[in-house]
Amino acid sequence: MNTCRAVTRDMETLLGLRPADLPEAVRNHLAACPACDRRLAAARLARGLIAAGAETIAPPQGFADRVRTALATRTVGSRADAETWRPAWGLMPAFAAAVAALFIVYQTGEIPGPTGFLSSEGLSVGEYLVLGSPGPEMDDIVSAVLEGGGK
């Protein structure tokens, strides 16, 4: 038990002992071997840090009542949310019908403009390049670039 290898091998056991309780052979070895002494010190420090990291915190008095109150508040809150949304759910069929009517009008209607809602009149060439339909001729693009994006 007086070699570096033995100290490394039995590190867990040594960590469980108080410094005064270490076998004499180990104490002698540690006194003569700074590397093993440092290894044991690092292991002790790491173990101390881990133990100190876990704090025992006792629950406060009346914690169960606090949870019960929070539970009641949450339940009331979710009921209130449900009440708020109930009328809105009743309007769902009307909303769906309105969306369907708009869709049909948009699909069949004669709506002018490149995107269905906008007229291409009054657009600059740059806007027309982005919004216009069908796509512009190459000459339009070149002249737009040359003219700095004017109308």
Partner 1 sequence: MAFADLVRRYERLVFRIAGGFLRDRGEVEDVAQEAFLKAYEALSGFRAGAPFGPWIAQIATRTCYDRLRARQRRGEVAWDDVSLTAQSAAPSFAAGRPADDTTAARDLAERALATLPPKDRQALMLADAMGHTAAEVGQMMGCTALAVRLRLHRARRAMRKAAERLLDGMGKTE
Tell me whether residue 57 or residue 94 sits nearer to partner 1 (CB atom).
57
> Segment 98-127, which members bind partner 1 (CB under 8 A)?
none
Amino acid at 112: P
66 contacts partner 1 (rule: CB under 8 A): yes
Of the candidate spans 60-68, 83-91, 103-111, 136-144, the one that interacts with partner 1 by CB under 8 A turns out to be 60-68
Contacts of 123 by beta carbon, 8 Å cutoff, 6+ apart? 131, 132
Determine the distance from the C-alpha atom of residue 94 to the mean position of all C-alpha atoms in its chain, rounded to a whole number: 37
The only residue of 48, 112, 116, 150 in contact with partner 1, by rule CB under 8 A: 48
80 contacts partner 1 (rule: CB under 8 A): no
- Can you read off the two tokens belonging to residue 76? 């009331």
Tell me whether residue 30 or residue 125 sits nearer to partner 1 (CB atom).
30
Tell me whether residue 4 or residue 70 sits nearer to partner 1 (CB atom).
70
**How far is the C-alpha of 47 from the C-alpha of 12, rounded, in Å?**
10
Helices (H), 1-151: 4-9, 11-15, 24-32, 34-53, 63-90, 92-108, 125-131, 138-146
Query: In which residue are the tokens 């173990």 written?
Result: 47
Of the candidate spans 63-71, 79-87, 88-96, 119-127, the one that interacts with partner 1 by CB under 8 A turns out to be 63-71
> Segment 17-46, which members bind partner 1 (CB under 8 A)?
18-19, 38, 41-46
